[in-house]
Amino acid sequence: MPRIDHNQLRELGFEIYRALEAPEEIARVVADYQVETNLAGHDSHGCLAIPRFARDVRSGKIIPTAIPEVVREDGPTALINGNRSFGMYSAHTAVKLAGEKGKRFGIGAVGVTNCNHVGALWGFIKSVVDEGMIGLMWCNAGPRGGSMAPFGGMRRVMAGNPIGFGVPGKSRPPLVTDISTATAAGGKVLIALQKGEKIPDHWVLDEAGQPTTDPEAFMTRDLEIFGAMRPFGEHKGYALALFAEVLGGILTGYGPAYRDDYIEGNGTFVIAIDVERFIDLDTFRTEVDGYFKAVKSVPTDPQTDEILIPGEMEYRTRIEREKDGIPFAESTWQTIVDTAASVGLEAPAPLQE
């Protein structure tokens, strides 16, 4: 399994997007978010998508030079038209604006329509938390027709719409959560497919609506989906997915995935809350730390070594991967190497074991 230095990977992504005519700022933001996602251990939403984004630029789905713009604004709220720019750049723009409004008004709520794939929510939430604010984020997702069946259903009509939230701590890493409302995100199924591995039989349904352990019974390597994901926690994940569709897809005007005119992407809604409008920030951080300490002090069952706060595992993974490099499946890394070659670039050599 090749391991790639994160700084070299950052530059490779940047140069690929520049070769695809993205302006410097956009290329840098997108490459940075993807590498940061890998550093956190969320490999299904990191640089795995570089070849996909290159295809989307060439097909016209992503307009690399497009700049998101605010089309509606009223006090603490705003709506951004992503203009089919890179979704990560559109989400970055929305999160930055929500944070500014949060500091000014106490709360900032920003929606994004006409937005391409934003990737993992983890980095966006963390950027809000790093400013001493509470962050919340919802997205709807594709493809057209959906990718997930409702609880008890046998056919896809919605998606494993992601939700994210986070709060700042003090001496401990902040709580940062980014979850798919599906049992497993489609990117994880794709990784299993690329590795030639089986998946648990509760992750997805095949085209006939039956549980399967074969990722190829759910999707192709080119991301064509003919099966259906299943919601996590049965009715609970299903309810959260519905809510995310309403906020990310309907409130923003993007449109829900079941519609025939839906264009694959992520209608996105983000909220940033200024803690100091409610309580002294240092007091809040201290109370959060104390609460997390109490939670972590609970005795563990025989199968658990340690109780973790969401975000702790990513913090530790980052330290390890900054030192040892970011691991890729051979086939995944080869798709990135091939994408680099297609724009006249040479990918860096893997780190020596």
Q: Are residues 39 and 109 in the same domain?
A: no
Q: 314 lies in a domain?
A: no
Q: 259 lies in a domain?
A: yes
Give the pLDDT band (50/70/90) at residue 353. low
Q: 298 lies in a domain?
A: no
Q: Are residues 24 and 80 in the same domain?
A: no
Q: Are residues 19 and 161 in the same domain?
A: no
Q: Are residues 164 and 268 in the same domain?
A: yes
Q: 197 lies in a domain?
A: no
Q: Are residues 41 and 169 in the same domain?
A: no
Mean pLDDT of the chain: 95
| Residue linked to tokens 């950052």 | 10
Q: Taking residues 65-79, what's their average pLDDT?
A: 98
Q: Are residues 70 and 167 in the same domain?
A: yes
Q: Are residues 56 and 134 in the same domain?
A: no
The residue range of the domain holding 39 is: 1-65+326-353
User: How many domains in the chain?
Assistant: 2
CATH code of 176's domain:
3.30.1370.60
Note the pLDDT tens digit of each residue in 294-335.
999 999 999 999 999 999 999 999 999 999 999 999 999 999
Q: Are residues 28 and 175 in the same domain?
A: no
Note the pLDDT tens digit of each residue in 235-285.
999 999 999 999 999 999 999 999 999 999 999 999 999 999 999 999 999
Dmax over Cα atoms in the chain, in whole Å?
Answer: 55
Q: Are residues 253 and 113 in the same domain?
A: yes
Q: What is the pLDDT of residue 187?
A: 80
Q: Are residues 46 and 158 in the same domain?
A: no
Q: Are 254 and 140 in contact (CB under 8 A)?
A: yes
Q: Are residues 93 and 41 in the same domain?
A: no
Instruction: Please report the sign of the dihedral spanned by the C-alpha atoms of residue 35, residue 38, residue 42, residue 47.
Output: positive
Q: What is the pLDDT of residue 48?
A: 94
Portion of the chain with pLDDT greater than 70, in percent: 100
How far apart (Å, rounded) are the C-alpha atoms in residues 223 and 33?
A: 21
Q: What is the pLDDT of residue 1?
A: 87
Q: Are residues 29 and 174 in the same domain?
A: no
309: left (phi over 0), alpha (psi -120 to 50) or beta: beta
The C-alpha angle with vertex 224 and arms to 209 and 33, in degrees rounded to 5, equals 115
Preceding peptide of 327 cis, ω within 30°: no
Q: pTM for the full model?
A: 0.92
Cα within 13 Å of Cα(103), Cβ side: 10
| Residue linked to tokens 């780190």 | 351
CATH code of 23's domain:
1.10.1530.10
Note the pLDDT tens digit of each residue in 179-220.
999 998 888 898 899 889 999 999 999 999 999 999 999 998
| Residue linked to tokens 């951080």 | 285
